[in-house]
Homo-oligomer: A and B are copies of this chain.
Amino acid sequence: MWADFEALSAIGSIGDGGVNRPSLSTAHLAARNWFASRIHDSGLELRIDSAGNHSAFLACDQPGAKTLLLGSHLDSVPHGGRYDGALGVLAAFEVLRVVKEMGERLLLHLEAIDFTDEEGTLVGELGSLAVAGNLREESLHSPRGGRAALVEGLARAGLSEAGLLAARRDPTSLAGYLELHIEQGKRLLNTSSKIGIVTAIVGITSCRVIFTGQADHAGTTALLDQRNALRGAAHFAIGFWEKLEQDFSRCVGNIGNLQVIPGVFNIVPERVEISVELRAPDISLLTRLEEMVNELSHRMAERFQLGVSVEWLDRAEPVQMDRIFQDVIVNACRDLGFAFQHMASYAGHDAQALASICPVGMIFVPSVGGYSHSPREYTDWQDCVNGANVLLEATLRLARGDLG
Interface residues of A (CB under 8 A from B): 77-79, 84, 119-121, 144, 183-186, 202, 204, 206, 214-223, 225, 230-231, 234-235, 237-238, 241, 244-245, 252, 254-260, 262-269, 275-277, 279, 346-348, 370-376
A377's closest neighbor in chain B, by CB? B217
Q: Which residue of B has the minimal Cβ distance to A78?
A: B262
Q: Which residues of B contact A217 (CB under 8 A)?
A: 84, 184-185, 347, 371-374
Nearest CB of B to A306, in Å: 15
Distance (whole angstroms) from the CB of A76 to the closest CB of chain B = 11
List 7 contacting pairs A-B, 8 Å CB cutoff, sorted by A.
A77-B266, A185-B217, A222-B252, A254-B265, A256-B269, A265-B277, A266-B373
**Contact between chains at A265 and B275 (CB < 8 Å):** yes
Instruction: Please indicate the chain B residues that have their CB under 8 angstroms from the CB of A252 in the complex.
Output: 218-220, 222-223
Which chain B residues lie closer than 8 Å to A234 at the CB level? 234, 237-238
When all copies of this chain in the complex are counted, the total is 2
Question: Which residue in B119, B185, B215, B347 is a CB contact (below 8 Å) of A373?
Answer: B215
Q: Closest B residue to A144 by CB, please name it.
A: B265
Q: For A218, what are the chain B residues with a Cβ–Cβ distance below 8 Å? A: 252, 254, 256, 277, 373
Residue from A120, A218, A262 whose CB has the most chain B CB atoms within 10 Å: A218
> Which residue on B lies nearest to A183, using beta carbons?
B220
With a cutoff of 8 Å between Cβ atoms, the chain B residues found around residue A269 in the complex are: 255-257
Contact status A258-B256, CB under 8 Å: no
Q: Are A220 and B185 in contact (CB under 8 A)?
A: yes
Contact partner, A221, options B84, B185, B202, Cβ 8 Å = B185
Given A217-B347, A264-B275, A347-B217, A241:B231 Cβ within 8 A? yes
Bound Cα distance A184, B216 (Å): 9
- The interface centre, meaning the residue of A121, A206, A256 with most chain B CB atoms within 10 A of its CB, is A256
Q: Is the CB of B264 within 8 A of A77?
A: yes
B residues less than 8 Å from A245 (CB atoms) = 223
CA distance A279 to B268 in the complex (A): 14
Residue with the highest number of chain B CB atoms closer than 10 Å, among A245, A258, A262, A265: A265
CA distance A77 to B225 in the complex (A): 20
CA distance A78 to B271 in the complex (A): 14
Task: Give Cα distance in the complex from A257 to B258, angstroms.
Answer: 10
